[in-house]
Amino acid sequence: LAKTTQPISMDSYEGQEVNITCSHNNIATNDYITWYQQFPSQGPRFIIQGYKTKVTNEVASLFIPADRKSSTLSLPRVSLSDTAVYYCLVGDGAAGNKLTFGGGTRVLVKP
Amino acid sequence: DAGITQSPRHKVTETGTPVTLRCHQTENHRYMYWYRQDPGHGLRLIHYSYGVKDTDKGEVSDGYSVSRSKTEDFLLTLESATSSQTSVYFCAISESGGLNEPQHFGDGTRLSIL
């Protein structure tokens, strides 16, 4: 799997937009970009996935530039409950892939 | 959320004892996974299964074995637990095995080996 690099931590305030950028310089042609969210004492939860350009769902947006060497997860108007660790993963659809989460980005939303 | 139940949720045991963790799903998904999560290492894949009686090793499989005799159950066994296996263990499921298929995780089992 392509190696990813993301900031260790970020602080924000309620109501602000949080943008987390993930670098994946060695992304392969068939690779997708997937983001998971993990709250304390819970398993990771799928947030969003994309291949190119922009993807938006009810939780977040994912921006992927044309070269696909990075991606940005955007969380609009965060609340205290968005405090969590966010993981960026890159890989292809090969069966039995070995999902590697890395350290993730710890986001702290303050009142 | 996906119907995934891990048991037990917490366990404390002694070095050298056998330990079995159970993952039960109600989604009829083909793929099931066991991960461990440790500070500074993120989640690491131990073993996974791509069908009944079909399993394969992950990144950190030494000291662990798995079995899947039914679609809904995936067991992780530590034959002789060691302190280095103290960790939080997560089970996950997915319909197919590709990364573009999201995995759904259970709430974890916190295992302490003294």
Whether pLDDT at B2 is above 50: yes
By the CB < 8 Å criterion, does B92 face chain A? yes
By the CB < 8 Å criterion, does B42 face chain A? yes
| 8 Å CB contact between B21 and B35 | no
The one-letter amino acid code at A57 reads: N
Question: pLDDT at position A2, please?
Answer: 60
Contacts of B101 in chain A (CB under 8 A): 93
By the CB < 8 Å criterion, does B38 face chain A? no
Supply the mean pLDDT for chain B. Answer: 92
Q: pLDDT grade, residue B43 (50/70/90)?
A: confident
Burial class for B76, CB neighbours closer than 10 Å (0-12, 13-18, 19+): buried
- Average pLDDT on B12-40 reads 94
Which of A49, A96, A104 shows the shortest C-beta gap to B100?
A49
Question: pLDDT at position B99, please?
Answer: 63
- pLDDT tens for A68-95 read 999 999 999 999 999 999 999 887 655 4
List CB contacts of A78: < 8 A, sequence separation 6 or more.
Answer: A12, A14, A15, A16, A17, A18, A107, A109
More confident residue, A24 or A100: A24
Question: pLDDT at position A61, please?
Answer: 97
Question: pLDDT at position B71, please?
Answer: 96
A80 in helix, strand or coil? helix
Whether pLDDT at B44 is above 80: yes
Question: pLDDT at position A95, please?
Answer: 47
- pLDDT tens for A20-63 read 999 999 888 888 899 999 998 899 999 999 999 999 999 999 99
By the CB < 8 Å criterion, does B39 face chain A? no
Rounded to the nearest angstrom, the gap between the alpha carbon of residue A75 and the centroid of all alpha carbons in its chain is: 10
By the CB < 8 Å criterion, does B58 face chain A? yes
> Which residues of A lie inside 8 Å of B (Cβ-Cβ)?
1, 31-32, 34, 41-46, 49, 87, 89-104
∠ Cα A28 A29 A33 (to 5°): 70
Contacts of B48 in chain A (CB under 8 A): 96
The answer to whether the Cα torsion of A92, A98, A103, A106 is positive or negative is: positive
B84 in helix, strand or coil? helix
Q: Among residues of chain B, what percentage have pLDDT more than 90? A: 82
How far does B74 lie from chain A, in Å, by closest CA? Answer: 16
